[in-house]
Amino acid sequence: MTGSHTRMVQQTQAGSQNQAPSNHELYQEPGRRFGIRDGLFQAVTQGGGEQYLSAFALLSYATPLHLSILSAMPQLLGAWAQLVSVKVSHWFPTRKTQIFWGLIGQSFSWIPILALPLLWPEFGPWLLIACVALYFTFTHFTSPAWNSFITDRLHADERGMYFARRSRIMALTSFLALSSGGILLSYCDQQQALWVGFAIMFLTAGFCRSASAFSLLKVPDLPQPKSSDDSVGFRIFLRTGVTKNFRQFLLFSSLMHLAVLMTAPFFVIYMIQDLHLAYWEYGAWLGAGIIGQFVTLPTWGQFGDRFGNKALLTFTGLIVGILPMLYLLSTAWAFLVVVNFFGGVIWAGLGLGLNNYVFDAVHPADRAKAVAVSSTVNAIGWALGTLLGTWLISGIPASLQLGALALHPVSNLPFLFFLSGLLRLIVSATLLRTFQEPRTVELDSHHRLLWELPLLKPLRELSLRRR
């Protein structure tokens, strides 16, 4: 969300082509380029490192409880780190310095993530949870400063395209890293040296975060906008410093995270332990979601810039509830890959809308604080969702008989996926109507906007050409 959290935009021209750029623009461009480079390095870390943490946990004999804690605890500590990050930002001479040391911390965290569970396997899952929590603490510590650092270099009507471009580059890079990781692990598994594959992947992930940190050193920082009152605490800021729209948006975002995280930690169990997929098949399933993001992010970015992030959230928030229900229909690997591809399509738009709405809804000086608050409520939803999912697993039956209809999936997890989808639909149907678009955007009927969506827009343009 960083983080989770990923995004990109086209560069705009100021004045005529013959006009020399201003000093402000000269400061903006290196920062925009850094955002792209950082996205590339981050994508390698995510695709070849973070995406395989759950699989590494299974190698350490992690249980569903361990996987739930592995998913929830780092996010809770990460949210706390974001709040601390804003509070101590004045300790650093520039935002760049704060980001730099956060990236260095991320880089070195991969060493204990790899080493400690292998050195003391009897405590492997708990050691992994502690080390991953440390890693995400550093990751989230940089997030408010990073978002403020980048968005100060972007105009309001270009953020969608910039972050979409960045996310698209990240999606392709992450897919390549993910696919390479799956092939590497499958090969190492055949050679009975699975830990070697994880070692190569995790050390590469750490190196990439260091590379991102040192690329930042060449970027000049812009003066940070001064908040009207830096001493205002987060509770007061949330109560009086933001609009009712933003508070309702936070409620929607946190409950959506709760509904999604009921199931997210358990897909790795379903794919590897229940369906017995090979690592390369699991990697391909993950990669399909990334490809879905890659092919649709530019269109989502254009859609959000033109029609607003609220419209973006409305369409994706309603569709995202259907996706996990489809896992009840089939266990065929090709079908699962197609479902996750469309999951990537929808999550590309939903993630973009959730991130960019925060930037639009508050004053520029308060963006770092707003990002921290948003991450905190999302992390609370994240943690409650994983705990709810862990509790439900023990109570959901493994089969269901409804009259003549009998459902006998390979485990009870598809039923949990269905409940997650149902809760997502309830959250979207009840809360999307409670907040509005904060920017002035083009207005159109939902029927017309439907044809502006990714995958549908090219079909519409093709049909118009044939007329």
**The pLDDT of residue 462:** 45
- Which has the closest alpha carbon to 107: 59, 147, 49? 49
Tally of CB atoms within 10 A around 208: 26
Sequence ranges of the domains in the chain: 24-221+240-466
* Residues 134-178 pLDDT 10s: 998 898 888 888 877 887 777 766 777 788 788 888 888 988 998
What whole-number distance in Å separates Cα of residue 206 and Cα of residue 457?
39
Tally of CB atoms within 10 A around 231: 6
**The pLDDT of residue 21:** 42
| CATH T-level assignment (fold) for domain 24-221+240-466 | Growth Hormone; Chain: A; (1.20.1250)
What whole-number distance in Å separates Cα of residue 290 and Cα of residue 172?
7
In the beta sheet, which residues pair with residue 406? Answer: 401
Q: Max Cα separation, the chain? A: 75
What whole-number distance in Å separates Cα of residue 216 and Cα of residue 94?
12
**The pLDDT of residue 76:** 78
**The pLDDT of residue 193:** 85
What whole-number distance in Å separates Cα of residue 373 and Cα of residue 79?
8
Positions in the chain short of pLDDT 50:
1-24, 26, 228-231, 462
**The pLDDT of residue 1:** 38
**The pLDDT of residue 233:** 57
What whole-number distance in Å separates Cα of residue 456 and Cα of residue 306?
17
Which pair of tokens denotes residue 196? Answer: 């070697």
Look up tokens 């940089």; give the residue: 142
**The pLDDT of residue 467:** 54
What whole-number distance in Å separates Cα of residue 124 and Cα of residue 438?
47
DSSP three-state, residue 168? helix
Instruction: Tell me the C-alpha to C-alpha distance, in Å, between residue 94 and each of 98, 219, 228, 337.
Output: 7, 12, 19, 44
408 Cβ partners below 8 Å, 6+ apart? Answer: 398, 399
DSSP three-state, residue 334? helix
Q: What share of the chain is helix, strand, coil (3-state, %, to 5)?
A: 75, 0, 20
Phi, psi of 402 (to 5 degrees): -120, 90
Q: How far is CA 87 from the centre of its chain?
A: 24
372 Cβ partners below 8 Å, 6+ apart? Answer: 79, 82, 83, 85, 86, 143, 144, 234
Instruction: Indicate the pTM of the whole model.
Output: 0.69
